[in-house]
Amino acid sequence: MKKPVKVTITGAAGHIGYALAFRVASGEMFGPDQPVILRLLEIPQALSSLNGVGMELEDCALPLLHDIVLTDDPSIGFRETDYALLIGAKPRSKGMERKDLILENAKIFAAQGRSINDNASGDVRVLVVGNPANTNALIAASNAPDLANRQFTAMTRLDHNRTMGQLANKTNSLVADIKRVNIWGNHSMTQYPDISNCLIDGKPAYDLVTRDWVIDHMIPRIQRRGAEIIEARGLSSAASAADAVVDHVHDWALGTSENDWVSMSVMSDGSYGVSEGVVFSFPVTCKEGEYEIVQGLDLDELSQSRLKTSEKELLEERAIIQELLPKG
């Protein structure tokens, strides 16, 4: 039997946390032979509800779930953890942009970055989901002086999956046959869903869809999809977000499929001319717990200008929270 992996979920009594915890515990994230210990972290006001989540987990009698820790103390929640899934934060409501949450949510990620630094495994991998996710990941990384920036990522996998879903519908194909879509930039209205390199059942996607459809319909739809769901549900996406968390961490830990890549927001290393010091979504491949940004893709003028727009927004977000970045 393998040694259990410790997984911390913050905001575990919230909508995404509730959809996620059971999937991690049942083996979907790390595979059917990998036991897990769940460390569920909430704020004091949500502890009663968190206790209910703990009871339900117990009632599932999941063979891979070796222990459950329920707490409102970050030093317990992050103790020796291998994976920290930072979900707990305020969601936006109708009419807001994700960056409108920045002042309210940013401090959570500064404190959690420090606590992860002091309590987690030295090899911890962090995924930030709470919005604005990219800038919150930058804050968490900057408050963890003993950890490497590459241990911190933010989630654009939901946008990636949304792009595959839209393409599958439009071309009447199976999602399983779609490869090499990717999201560039920020998890926001400026993100750039790119299908220039996409293959559908081995054929270039652009043989099956027109550039006008991509520019006038697909890209704006993906950029607005979060808001479209809030309009429809009165609440932000939760099950699809939890699903994307499972995908992101699964692929980071266990590797991406051959001849394909996924979208992850990671600390920019200057690839594709993107400024260092912002957490930007790139196409990446993963192997043995490490990601690499896919290099050498051609970017036409339109793509380059879209990347610049998203980079500019991330630099503006960074300026707003500059005082929360002790590493500089």
Active-site positions? 187
The answer to the question of residue 15 lying near ligand LMR (CB under 6 A) is: no
Q: How far is the CB of 237 from ligand LMR (least distance, A)?
A: 4
113 lines the binding site for ligand NAD (CB under 6 A): no
- Give the containing element (helix H, strand E) for 21: helix 15-25
Residue 135 binds to ligand LMR (criterion: CB under 6 A): no
- Is 92 a binding residue for ligand LMR by CB under 6 A? The answer is yes
Using the contact rule CB under 6 A, the part of the chain among 8-16, 31-39, 189-197, 271-279 near ligand NAD is 8-16
Angle at alpha carbon of residue 8, lines to 5 and 10, rounded to 5°: 165
Quick count: other Cβ atoms within 10 Å of Cβ 134? 31
In whole angstroms, what is the distance from residue 13 CA to residue 182 CA? 31
Question: By beta-carbon distance, which residue lies closest to ligand LMR?
Answer: 226
Binding flag, residue 237, ligand LMR (CB under 6 A): yes
**DSSP for 262-309, written as a single string:** EEEEEE--SGGGPPTTSEEEEEEEEETTEEEE-------HHHHHHHHH
* Partner whose footprint covers residue 214, from ligand LMR, ligand NAD, none (CB < 5 to 8 Å by kind): none
The verdict on 226 binding ligand LMR (CB under 6 A) reads yes
Q: Considering only residues 117, 190, 236, 256, which one is a binding residue for ligand LMR as defined by CB under 6 A?
A: 236
Q: Which residue from 100, 112, 138 is spatially nearest to 328, judged by alpha carbons?
A: 138
Task: Indicate the residue among 235 and 302 with the shorter CB distance to ligand LMR.
Answer: 235
| β-strand pairing of 178-179 with 199-200 | antiparallel
Q: Does 46 bind ligand NAD (CB under 6 A)?
A: yes
Using CB under 6 A, which residues numbered 138 to 167 contact ligand NAD? 155, 158
Question: Any idea what DSSP says for residue 152?
Answer: E
Nearest residue by C-beta to ligand NAD? 14
**Which residue, 176 or 232, is less far from ligand LMR as judged by CB?**
232
Of the pair 91, 283, the CB lying nearest ligand LMR is at: 91
* Cα–Cα distance for residue pair 128/133, rounded to 1 Å: 6
Q: Which does 229 bind (CB under 5 to 8 A by kind): ligand NAD, ligand LMR, none?
A: ligand LMR
Is 11 an interacting residue with respect to ligand NAD (CB under 6 A)? yes
> Which residues, numbered 64-93, are part of the site for ligand NAD (CB under 6 A)?
87-92
CA dihedral for 201, 221, 225, 134, sign (positive or negative): positive
* DSSP secondary structure of 87-140: --SPPP-TT--GGGGHHHHHHHHHHHHHHHHHHS-TT-EEEE-SSSHHHHHHHH
Binds ligand NAD (CB under 6 A): choice among 147, 238, 307, 314:
238
Binding site for ligand NAD (CB under 6 A): 10-11, 13-17, 41-43, 46, 87-92, 108, 129-131, 133, 155, 158, 187, 236-238, 241
